[in-house]
């Protein structure tokens, strides 16, 4: 299942990158699981767009959760110099050993993200917050 989702993301990413007119490509960092990944934004029409992202990390605090894969997609609403995002994320956890009880919501596969960002010339800075899990993502990218 993980290989299928990653393959679909790569196909979507490659297709939209080749056909795109207005793009942004980001490197993302998730402090909670020391995760890294990529995000791609596409403007569909003035004021509206979409994004797709994929990341990989490992939690190692008070036990571990190995191989946390996160794939997210959503909508972007643009303003003059900034934007807001609303999306859905799929999480996959391959192995875990947690010695303390954790809320069951932490291992739910689907969650909702809210975010925002701003354009600084050709650079873009953004963040996303998972409202169910309480985790965040910081992203730095470039417009092209």
pTM: 0.79
User: What does the pLDDT read at residue 14?
Assistant: 56
Residue 14: inside a domain: no
**Percentage with pLDDT > 70 across the chain:** 75
Does pLDDT of 143 surpass 50?
yes
Residue 107 pLDDT grade (very low, low, confident, very high; cuts 50, 70, 90): confident
**CATH number of the domain that 39 lies in?**
2.40.160
User: What does the pLDDT read at residue 59?
Assistant: 75
Residue 126: inside a domain: yes
Q: How far is CA 142 from CA 31, 41, 55, 108, in A?
A: 21, 10, 18, 32
Share the mean pLDDT of the chain.
84
Residue 121: inside a domain: yes
Which residues have a Cβ under 8 Å from the Cβ of 44 and sit 6 or more positions away? 50
Per the structure, the complete domain to which residue 113 belongs is given by 2-9+23-143
Q: What DSSP line would sit under 43-84, residue for residue?
A: EEETTEEEEEEEEEEEE-SSSEEEEEEEEEEEEEEE-SSEEE
pLDDT digit string, tens, across residues 52-97? 999 999 877 666 777 889 999 999 999 988 999 999 999 988 766 6
Does pLDDT of 18 surpass 80?
no
pLDDT digit string, tens, across residues 67-79? 889 999 999 999 9
What spatial distance separates the first Cα and last Cα of the chain, rounded to whole Å?
Answer: 32
Q: How many structural domains are present in the chain?
A: 1
Distance CA 39, CA 22 (A): 14
Residue 18: inside a domain: no
């Amino acid at each position: 299942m993980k290989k299928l989702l990653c393959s679909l993301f790569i196909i979507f990413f490659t297709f939209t990158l080749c056909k795109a007119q207005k793009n942004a490509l980001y490197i993302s960092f998730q402090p909670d699981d020391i995760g890294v990944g990529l995000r791609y934004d596409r403007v569909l029409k003035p004021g509206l767009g979409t994004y797709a992202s994929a990341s990989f990390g490992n939690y190692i605090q008070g036990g571990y959760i190995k191989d946390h894969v996160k794939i997210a997609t959503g909508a972007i609403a643009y303003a003059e110099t900034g934007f807001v995002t609303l999306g859905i994320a799929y999480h996959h956890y391959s192995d875990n050993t947690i010695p303390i009880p954790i809320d069951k919501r932490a291992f739910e596969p689907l969650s909702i993200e809210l975010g925002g960002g701003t354009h600084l010339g050709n650079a873009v800075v953004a963040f996303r917050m998972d409202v169910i899990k309480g985790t965040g993502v910081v992203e730095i990218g470039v417009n092209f």
